[in-house]
Structure 1
Amino acid sequence: MAEGEPDGGGGPDPGDVVIETRGLAKQYRGTLAVDGLDLRVPRGSVFGFLGPNGSGKTTTIRMLMGLIAPTAGSARVLGSPMPQAVRSVLPRVGALIEGPALYGFLSGRDNLLRYDAADPTADPRTRVARVGAALDRVGLSAAAGKRAKAYSLGMKQRLGLAAALLQPRELLVLDEPTNGLDPQGMREIRGLVRGLAADGTTVFLSSHLLDEIEQVCTHAAVMARGRLITQGPVADLSAGALGRLAVTTPDVGDAARILAEHGVRDLTTAGGRVTGELPAEPPDLAELNAALVTAGVRVRGFGLERASLEDTFVALTGEGFDVAG
């Protein structure tokens, strides 16, 4: 059984899973954009859908939201099959996919009023208050009267997110939500996502930014070239890769030589530190430390740095992250 694949029995209770796919696939002109995806998103999680641009993330999200039909396999969202149950599922889902569709000649506030009016479940008596609250939540109150065509890319992203937040949602699906945002804007969106999760909303967040996923998500799945590489709690995914060995010493040249002799690879030296990647069969760290001391290296710090999601991705795929899948 492939890593990350459902075990077929004794899995999570269906009520604890808000998104589940089995063998989900989408083919375009002979090319599999998504290839046999088996995905499970736990209720109450902030789930990071991680992969390089072109890895199949947006295509998967479009199938989950019923925007396109799969070539093969099945998808269930909030317990119902998609796209068959799209009319009953989507009112319970907030989504921002491939950037918001806006009326450029309308203000940000008027765009949201139009969005809300198109929702048959929205109470018109509280529409203005809901729109004001959504604008305030994404930091656009001051620019609410400005025409959307004059918004920056980051402001348009914020407005699209506000549209997804007009009503309480069981599930929030965000496709690259920090696209176009400056560092402060990215920090604010991360805080917003954490707050929504604390209120009980499950957040499904796709990104090609490893740092973003690692900071905000409780669970993650890694995609590459249309296929699922692995999925699970973020802490467990990071633990699956060996961390880098770090040695602090004034004798960086001698330390690098000794480490290389013991199979440590990809060595870098900077600021009185030597770091390197341990081999698949790592040496005993106590013996390696002793070898450094015996060689006259003055060791002031020695240990493994925690593996990051980037380390995990490279370990699983054997390639860097800035690739087009």
Structure 2
Amino acid sequence: MTAVIETRGLTKRYRGGQLAVDGLDLTVPAGSVYGYLGPNGSGKTTTIRMLMGLIEPTSGTATVLGEPMPQSARTVLPRVGALIEGPALYGFLSGRDNLLRYDAADPTADPATRSRRVAAALDRVGLTGAAGKKAKAYSLGMKQRLGLAAALLQPRGLLVLDEPTNGLDPQGMREIRALVRELAADGTTVFLSSHLLDEIEQLCTHVAVMAQGRLLTQGPVAELAARARGRLSVLTPDTARAARLLVSLGVAGVTVEDGSRGEGGGRVTAEPPGEGTELSDLNAALVEEGVRVRGFGVERASLEDAFVALTGEGFDVAG
């Protein structure tokens, strides 16, 4: 099996005519960490709900682990771990007891080893010390961890995570990222939806970019970033003069970032020059005009650059 998830023309239109997902063609390779990227409201969660058989598509098809969904939900879902729109927890039960209930609901789970599995899952997400605490007293980040623990009670061929670092502090986010890398190294395919560009770029091998319910592109992260042009960067204490000169030379997209950068001072960025203009000529022109150039070059394009090039806009890129 080369594709763990595959959709063709997958569409969801809600009552009133709202088109949430429009003709989606996804291919998620086995063994990948696949980032499903898009602003809030772009159709990511609706897609996941269709893949997991929670809602019916209006049209199109979806297969998960080689089986059609939602028709094969009974055979597919026991092989999938999922955390969608935050965990559903019993607030009056402890974290441990919540996991015991989740495990008991799995017809494939061996009751004889249940306590051991629950303890291992709690330890894996860093909740052993809070296992006896009632879930209603958990913070948002702790609830997110507990939901992830529930998804990890059994070995899974596919792990589906919808905004997995939601509510976590920076340390918690790093721990969850490390856990996802560990699971991927063990051979689990991870399908991870997020609106955080930094998260996708750090974790994922492949990415799909969504906007307003439509798929804009998909493929390896490195290839997507490579399609975008990098930014020309000039480190100089003479930012205003450098910017004016670059504009006069026809360089587009000139912006100034003042502030302390050691001896370099501020920074001027711009779109790389087109054909017929050499970077060395721009550097020479700056020096000839007396601009003190401390650093000069074209920075590698990032996933953010690629997203902006595709959509013409940006969104939350915090990590």
Equivalent runs, 1:247-262 vs 2, <5 Å: 247-261=234-248, 262=250
Contact 1:255 1:274 in 2 (8 A): no
For residues 174 and 233 of structure 1, the distance between their equivalents in structure 2, rounded to whole angstroms, comes to: 19
Structure 1 residue 258: deviation in Å? 1.4
Contact 2:243 2:254 in 1 (8 A): no
- 2:132 aligned residue (129, 136, 145): 145
Contact 2:242 2:268 in 1 (8 A): no
Q: Structure 2: which amino acid aligns with 1:313?
A: F
Equivalent runs, 1:119-138 vs 2, <5 Å: 119-138=106-125
Equivalent runs, 1:85-96 vs 2, <5 Å: 85-96=72-83
For residues 82 and 275 of structure 1, the distance between their equivalents in structure 2, rounded to whole angstroms, comes to: 51
Equivalent runs, 1:28-107 vs 2, <5 Å: 28=14, 29-107=16-94
For residues 126 and 136 of structure 2, the distance between their equivalents in structure 1, rounded to whole angstroms, comes to: 18
For residues 130 and 231 of structure 1, the distance between their equivalents in structure 2, rounded to whole angstroms, comes to: 36
Contact 1:264 1:276 in 2 (8 A): no
Q: Which moved more, 1:176-185 or 1:235-244?
A: 235-244
Q: Structure 2: which amino acid aligns with 1:84?
A: Q
What is the root-mean-square deviation of aligned Cα atoms in Å?
Answer: 1.4
Instruction: Report the equivalent of 2:10.
Output: 24
Structure 1 residue 279: deviation in Å? 6.1
Between the two proteins, the alignment pairs up a number of residues equal to 309
Equivalent runs, 1:149-228 vs 2, <5 Å: 149-228=136-215
Q: Which moved more, 1:233-242 or 1:248-257?
A: 248-257
Cα distance per residue 1:97-143 (max 9 Å; x no partner):
00110000000000000000000000000000000000000000000
For residues 297 and 209 of structure 1, the distance between their equivalents in structure 2, rounded to whole angstroms, comes to: 37
Q: Which moved more, 1:215-224 or 1:294-303?
A: 294-303
Structure 1 residue 322: deviation in Å? 4.8
Cα distance per residue 1:50-80 (max 9 Å; x no partner):
0000000000000000111111111111111
Q: Structure 1: which amino acid aligns with 2:200?
A: I
Cα distance per residue 1:246-280 (max 9 Å; x no partner):
11122222111112223231412223232323168
- 1:273 aligned residue (266, 269, 277): 266
Give unmatched runs, 5+ long, in structure 2. none
Instruction: Report the equivalent of 1:114.
Output: 101
Q: Which moved more, 1:46-55 or 1:252-261?
A: 252-261
- Residues 69, 43 of structure 1: alpha-carbon distance in 2 compared, 3 angstrom cutoff: same
Instruction: Report the equivalent of 1:264.
Output: 252
Q: Structure 2: which amino acid aligns with 1:273?
A: G
Q: Structure 2: which amino acid aligns with 1:318?
A: G
Structure 1 residue 317: deviation in Å? 0.6
Contact 1:244 1:275 in 2 (8 A): no
Contact 1:245 1:278 in 2 (8 A): yes
Q: Structure 1: which amino acid aligns with 2:288?
A: T
Percent identity, aligned pairs only, is: 77
Cα distance per residue 1:38-57 (max 9 Å; x no partner):
11111101111000000000
- Residues 231, 321 of structure 1: alpha-carbon distance in 2 compared, 3 angstrom cutoff: same
Q: Structure 1: which amino acid aligns with 2:257?
A: T
For residues 32 and 253 of structure 1, the distance between their equivalents in structure 2, rounded to whole angstroms, comes to: 47
Contact 2:230 2:272 in 1 (8 A): no
